[in-house]
């Protein structure tokens, strides 16, 4: 960056404003890093805030007291949150007054101009605007920049795929409605209506959502803004996809494609919607089209791979995952899914390799998939009879997600394979309980039954527990007679067992159950009491 007069004055102002409130706007046509590299060697600590997704500038700035005195905040990425900045920040700008650190808001000439126009109160709060662009350097410093604002189509980045709570959405609605009273330019009005539409749709208020969407599109039609209309359809389609309203999503992606037949993303997303609607053939057609338009689209290959997997066409699935990985070597889910397919193809070594890779890239995996990857790797080791390794893998999975039923169940069966029945039955019991709690009753019954089958190999209260649970779930008297000949070493289990017998004789045991419920605090036993009650 060239050391211009503007830059010199900016650095001097930062020095004067150290530890004080001061809001500066900087027009920049380079990366923020260039600016930081100039500022930091002068004894400042730059605290950089990129405005994206849920980042709330004011919430971050409020923590200024925790920063060293020589801190300078640098916020950028305005266009990611334009409507929010213009509405919310504008009306809360007095909070800047309490922040005793200089705050730089940097952006393009357009972005800063928008603030000047539409966030007049925030703008008024500035100490000064610095122009550090090349254009400014070429001009004589004395001369003013004469670039007048033109009415142009413009499209904001709207938060479609982000989780937002009701309170935040309602607040955004208020901000947008307020801005509609301020903004005069039709392009912006249309965008504000669209922003409203998205908030309403997120709140499941489909009537208002649809109405706002229609208003926005109507304005864009009057402006003959074809691109804007297509963007609108795409946004609505995206939000319906995200909300799981798949037929609606398909319909709107189709409208997008009518206006813009070369939008690969619309094909691949419509494909995803078809896939979830179990219309796999149509999904594949769309993915094919997306790949035809853009042969370097890793996501499309990946998605098609998923559909082939669903259709049990494993060789094709592997081919697609290979291609996706070739195009995007850090696409962790592709390794994960290819591992799954190799497992199906009985190629366990390869499956393990892929799970290893997915685990290595775990920060790119969706939530909870990492624990699942460890579990699946464990299962692959188990199929290779490498039970020690399998058990280590399951342990990792449990560490990451202590409620992952499959990890316990699988570890239990690996333990049993190597004759460690006590651990095996303990894990199976835990797995069975977790499955039951997530209402997977059949799976749970199966697991309790497996555990109970070890009653001749090991004498443990876990086996007795599983036996009782199995009896309650299946109401199989044979289980009860098996339990009779077992030695149960736990008072409460004995009590529950006795009550179960009395219940079989049609005795009224409700008082005893109430008493037991009051006394017993252990979760696993309370579950058993509940099952007894429901029998």
Partner 1 sequence: MKAKALPEVYDIFDPQEPLTGEKLREYYVNRESPVKRLSGILKTTKKPLKYLFVGSRGNGKSTELNKLSELVKEELFIVPFSIKDRLNLFDVEYADILLVIGAEIYDKVSEQIELSKELDEYLNSWSETVVERVDEKQKGIGLGAGFTAIVNLSGKIKTQVTTREITRDIIKPRMSDLIDAINKIIVDAEEKLGKQLLIIIDDLDKVNLEKAEELFYMHGAELTQPICKVIYTIPQPLLFSNKIRQIVLQYFDGHEVLGNIKVHDKNSNLNSESCEVMKDVALRRMSEDLITEEALVTAIEFSGGILTEFMRIIKDAANIANTEGRERIENEDVEHAITEIRNDYIRILSKEDLEILKGVSKTKEKTDGESFQDLLFSLAILEYSNGEIWYDIHPTIKRVIE
* Binding footprint of partner 1 on the chain (CB under 8 A): 8-9, 12-13, 16-17, 20, 87-88, 91, 94, 97, 109, 112-113, 116-117, 120-121, 123-125, 127-129, 131, 142, 144-151, 166-167, 170-171, 174-175, 177-179, 181-182, 184
Question: Nearest 5°: CA angle at 144, between 138 and 146?
Answer: 95
CA dist list (Å): 276 to 336, 363, 488: 20, 26, 49
| Cβ closest to partner 1, residue 125 vs residue 155 | 125
Contacts of 387 (CB under 8 A, 6+ apart): 381, 414, 415, 417, 418
Strand 102-107, strand 22-27: pairing:
parallel
Longest dimension (CA), the chain: 101
Q: Please state, in angstroms and rounded to a whole number, the distance separating the CA atoms of residues 264 and 402.
A: 40
CB of 38 to partner 1, least distance (A): 15
> Token pair for residue 462?
């876990």
CB of 110 to partner 1, least distance (A): 10
Cβ proximity to partner 1: between 16 and 384 the closer is 16
**Side by side, which strands form the sheet with 102-107?**
45-50, 71-76, 102-107, 22-27, 128-131
Please enumerate in sequence order all residues whose Cβ is within 8 A of that of 401, keeping only pairs 6 or more positions apart, or say none: 368, 371, 407
CB of 151 to partner 1, least distance (A): 7
* Smallest distance, partner 1 to C-beta of residue 148, A: 6
What distance in Å separates the CA atoms of residue 57 and residue 79, rounded to the nearest whole number?
Answer: 14
Give 8 or 30: the residue with its C-beta nearer to partner 1. Answer: 8
Q: Which residues neighbour 23 within 8 Å (Cβ) at sequence distance 6 or greater?
A: 96, 102, 103, 105, 122, 125, 126, 127
Shortest spacing between CB 127 and partner 1, in angstroms:
7
Minimum distance, C-beta of residue 170 to partner 1, in the bound complex (Å):
4
CB 270 within 8 Å of CB 253: yes
Shortest CB 115 distance to partner 1, Å:
9
What's the closest the beta carbon of residue 391 comes to partner 1, in angstroms? Answer: 45
- Least separation in angstroms between residue 140's CB and partner 1 is 11
Cβ 378 to partner 1, closest distance in Å? 44
Q: Which residues does residue 131 pair with via DSSP β-bridges, in sequence order?
A: 27
Closest CA to 396 of 409, 413, 378: 378
Alpha-carbon torsion 170, 56, 90, 113, what sign?
Answer: negative
Q: How far is CA 372 from CA 326, 342, 404, 425, in A?
A: 24, 16, 8, 22
Which of 5/510 has CB closer to partner 1?
A: 5
| Residue 66 beta carbon to partner 1: minimum distance, rounded to whole angstroms | 22
What's the gap between Cα 197 and its chain centre? 22
Instruction: Report residue 181 as tokens.
Output: 């009273």
CA 362 – CA 375 distance, rounded (Å): 14
Sign of CA dihedral 275, 277, 281, 283: negative
């Amino acid at each position: 960056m060239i050391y211009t007069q503007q830059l010199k004055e900016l650095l001097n102002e930062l020095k004067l404003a150290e530890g004080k409130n001061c809001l500066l706007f900087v027009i920049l046509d380079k990366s923020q890093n260039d600016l930081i590299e100039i500022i930091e060697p002068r004894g400042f600590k730059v605290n950089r805030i990129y405005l994206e997704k849920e980042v709330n500038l004011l919430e971050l700035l409020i923590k200024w007291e925790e920063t060293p005195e020589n801190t300078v905040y640098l916020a950028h990425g305005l266009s990611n949150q334009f409507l929010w900045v213009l509405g919310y920040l504008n009306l809360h700008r007095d909070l800047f007054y309490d922040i005793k650190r200089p705050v730089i808001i940097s952006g393009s000439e357009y972005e800063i101009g928008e603030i000047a126009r539409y966030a007049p109160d925030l703008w008024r709060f500035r100490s000064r605007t610095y122009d550090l662009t090349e254009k400014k350097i070429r001009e004589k410093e004395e001369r003013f920049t004469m670039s007048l604002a033109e009415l142009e189509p413009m499209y904001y980045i709207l938060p479609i795929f982000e989780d937002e709570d009701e309170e935040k959405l309602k607040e955004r609605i208020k901000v947008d409605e307020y801005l509609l009273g301020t903004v005069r330019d039709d392009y912006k009005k249309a965008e504000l209506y669209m922003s409203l539409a998205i908030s309403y749709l997120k709140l499941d208020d489909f009537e208002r959502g649809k109405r706002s969407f229609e208003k926005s599109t109507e304005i864009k039609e009057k402006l003959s803004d074809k691109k804007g209309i297509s963007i609108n359809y795409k946004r609505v389609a995206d939000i319906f996809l995200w909300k799981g309203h798949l037929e609606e999503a398909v319909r709107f992606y189709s409208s997008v494609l009518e206006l813009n037949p070369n939008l690969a993303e619309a094909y691949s997303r419509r494909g995803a919607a078809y896939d979830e609607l179990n219309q796999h053939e149509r999904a594949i057609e769309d993915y094919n089209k997306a790949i035809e338009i853009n042969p370097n689209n890793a996501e499309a290959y990946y998605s098609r791979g998923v559909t082939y997997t669903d259709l049990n066409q494993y060789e094709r699935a592997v081919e697609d995952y290979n291609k996706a990985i070739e195009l995007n070597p850090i696409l962790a889910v592709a390794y994960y899914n290819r591992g799954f397919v190799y497992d199906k193809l009985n190629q366990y070594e390869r499956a393990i390799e892929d799970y290893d890779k997915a685990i290595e890239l775990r920060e790119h995996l969706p939530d909870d998939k990492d624990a699942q990857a460890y579990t699946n790797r464990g299962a692959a080791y188990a199929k290779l009879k490498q039970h020690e390794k399998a058990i280590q893998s399951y342990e990792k999975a449990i560490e990451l997600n202590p409620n992952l039923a499959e990890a316990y169940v699988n570890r239990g069966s690996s333990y049993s394979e190597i004759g460690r029945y006590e651990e095996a039955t303990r894990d199976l019991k835990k797995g069975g309980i977790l499955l039951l709690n997530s209402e997977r009753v059949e799976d749970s019954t199966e697991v309790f039954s497996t555990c109970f089958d070890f009653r001749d190999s090991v004498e443990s209260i876990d086996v007795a527990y599983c036996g009782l649970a199995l009896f309650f779930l299946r109401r199989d008297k044979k289980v009860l007679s098996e339990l009779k000949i077992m030695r149960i070493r736990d008072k409460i289990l004995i009590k529950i067992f006795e009550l179960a017998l009395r219940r079989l004789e049609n005795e009224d045991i409700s008082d005893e159950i109430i008493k037991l419920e009051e006394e017993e605090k252990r979760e696993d036993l309370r579950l058993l009491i509940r099952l007894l009650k429901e029998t």
